[in-house]
Structure formats: C-alpha cells, structure tokens
Amino acid sequence: MKKYLIHIAVFLLMLTPASHAAYIDTDAEVAVVIDGHTGKVLFSKDKDKKTYPASMTKIMTTLIIFEKLANETLSLDDKFLVSEKAWREREGSSMFVEVDKEIRVEDLLRGIIVQSGNDACIVVAENIAGTEESFAKMMTQKAKEIGMKNTNFTNSTGMYDKDNYSTVYDIALLSMHLINEYPQYYHLFAETEFEWSGIKQNNRNSLLYKNMGVDGLKTGHLSKSGYGLAASAVDQNRRVISVVNGFESTQKRTQGSSRLITWAFREFTNLKLFEKEDIVGQVEISGASSKESDVSTGEEIIITVPKSKRDGLTTNIVVDDNISAPLNAGDKVGYLEISVPGEENQTYELYATNEIDRSNIFVRFFNYLINFILSLFN
C-alpha cells in the first residue's frame, strides 16, 4: 500500500499543550458517554454488561411509534382503544387511561415520554401489534437492525422480566438513532409536564430542569437494577449522550449524570475535516496518464477528539494494493487514515474524483523498464 501524508491547515490554529483528557469515574454500576454525532465512546464503565433497563425500555417503544409516523402508516391524530389489560396496569408509573376510551396517538406519546405511563405503552403495543408480546418481538427486531447486540425485549414498559435486558451502550445507540432519524418528533422528550384525566405529572428527568442543554431522554428504576437515566444534551451544536444504571438514589443519578455530561463537553471536541465529496489530496495511480490524480471523500468526515490531543492529529492517504488505471470517477481508490495519539485509528474510504486514463503503451513500457532497473539495485 502507498501512503501519502497530507496536512490540514485548520489544526495549526487549534494547538494546545499535549496532555491526556482528565479522568473521571462514576458511582453508577454501568455507564457510557458517547458523542451524539460520531458515536465515539468518550467514557465507559462496563458498557456491555447486561442490565435491566426499566423504563428506559420505553425509548424503543417510542421509536417504533416515531418510525410509523415517519412512514405515514400512523398519524398523531389516529386513536387507539384502551383495553381492560391496559386499564388495569397500575404497577409503577401510569397515565391513568380509562377502559374502552379512544386516545389520540399524540397524547399517548406524551403519556409514555413525560409521564412514563406503563398503561399508555400497553395501549400502543396492543393497537400496533395485536398483543404486547408481539410488539416486544418488533422491538427486539428493531434493536438488531440498529446494532444493539446485547438486547432483548419481552415487554413495552420495562417492567421486570429476567429476559427483558439491555446494556447502557445499546441504549446509547438506540438514543442516538432516535434523535438523528426522527428530529421532527424528538422535541417531545424535552416537555416537562403533561396532564391527563385531570392529573398533571412532571417529567422525571430532573436534568431537564437544569440549565445544561439537556433535552431528553428517559429515566428508569427497578429494585433489581437501581436508578438509571438515558440523557442527551446539546452545547454549541455538539450533542452528547449519557446512559447510566445502578445508582442508589435519584439524587445520585442526577448528580452523576450531570458530571459525566459536563465532563464530556469540557474534555472533547468535534473537528470537521472534510465535507462530502471534498478533494482530500492527490495520489499516484499505477499506469495513469497523469502523474497525480485527485481523490475525494464519500461522506462528511467529522471526528471526536480529546481537546488536549488535537494538535497531535495526523492524516495519511493509503492507496489500495493493485489499484491501476483506468478508473472511473467514483471508483474506490483507498482510504484516509486518521491518527490521534493514544486513540484508535479511524479510516474513511476515498474515491477517484475524475476519470483516470491509462498512459500510452510507450510510456507504460518506459516506466516498466525504469522500475525493473531500479529493482535490480534494491
């Protein structure tokens, strides 16, 4: 493989003294913090350990509804009928639905998101899939589709079941997917109160009431798994997602989550290196008529780095083995390798920007001869 070092001028304006990102810990049993755009893991404590997500399960219940709203198989004004099973559901939090009453989907969403109503979840599950058990299978299938590798759902509410489990990392992936794919509905997670049946309830996510940019997502609590919270916050167009579980109290959950989010904003930053289809640099292509050819990105390239390490960033263009002319515009040529001290390298595919023609037979023979002679000396 051929490597080409390239320089990006923006980093010359962003030099800081080299040091490691400050370390942080948490009293949570399990925790993870990721960047909401790049998905980079910023902090991890047993992020892949299976845990009971409790009401954080309702993020997936909500995602199923958002997906159906987006593909127009459901509307906010559609009405769902309340079954006796849903009406009798009073264990844990409740929206206080009434049996045989029809409720708008939009109101049920608020009952799930703001009031954390188990009864509202069952109403939705039964009307979408026929039974809650069938709906749970939809939830598990969707989890697999979005890369949640250690998750299984058996209900729509998060009520304790030994087979209703997930990990904080999977919940973080779920949260990022919901926020990025359905921004038109995500604002519901920022609402702080909702009234139904004459009962006004406040959102249990206490971070929503703090001036720290939090705009969602969901709390959870079970005696077997402690207090958990999936939270997302925005600061200067950068989003951070924190998921924790296993705190001993709501107060410790609030304080612990707040510290992790504040730390993530303080210690890390996002750097946009290239827009989609930007020319990254020039490379030599074997057999090409021109000495150097432009290569470009196939996607926008944004990376998350510790602020203390951004001056150590380097980039290389690596040309794939056996790449030779002719090439069409859009053909894969190699990849961009991005290195940050102490971090795992990241790679992004690169493509020919224009058609790359073959040189004529005399030039190819001359180059072959020169390379053959040089190889004798090597």
CATH at residue 364:
2.60.410.10
Indicate if 133 and 238 belong to the same structural domain. Answer: yes
Lowest mean pLDDT among 139-143, 265-269, 277-281, 291-295: 291-295
Indicate if 240 and 294 belong to the same structural domain. Answer: no
Are the C-beta atoms of 318 and 1 separated by less than 8 Å? yes
What does the alpha-carbon distance between residue 20 and residue 268 come to, in Å, rounded to a whole number? 11
Indicate if 288 and 241 belong to the same structural domain. Answer: no
**What does pTM read for this prediction?**
0.86
Task: Please give the radius of gyration of the chain, using alpha carbons only, rounded to the nearest integer.
Answer: 26
Indicate if 231 and 203 belong to the same structural domain. Answer: yes
**Which runs of consecutive H residues, i.e. helices, occur in the chain?**
58-70, 84-88, 105-113, 118-129, 132-145, 168-181, 183-186, 250-267, 361-377
Indicate if 288 and 356 belong to the same structural domain. Answer: yes
Confidence tier at 263 by pLDDT (50, 70, 90): very high
Residue 260 covered by a domain: no
Indicate if 231 and 277 belong to the same structural domain. Answer: no
Phi/psi class of residue 130: alpha, beta or left (left: φ > 0; alpha: ψ in -120 to 50)? left
Lowest mean pLDDT among 89-93, 99-103, 202-206, 328-332: 89-93
CATH number at residue 55: 3.40.710.10
pLDDT at 170: 98
Residue 261 covered by a domain: no
Q: State how many domains the chain has.
A: 2
User: What is the three-class DSSP state of 217?
Assistant: strand
- Residue 142 belongs to domain spanning: 30-247
Indicate if 222 and 297 belong to the same structural domain. Answer: no
Indicate if 222 and 283 belong to the same structural domain. Answer: no
Indicate if 46 and 193 belong to the same structural domain. Answer: yes
Confidence tier at 205 by pLDDT (50, 70, 90): very high
Indicate if 115 and 178 belong to the same structural domain. Answer: yes
Residue 357 covered by a domain: yes
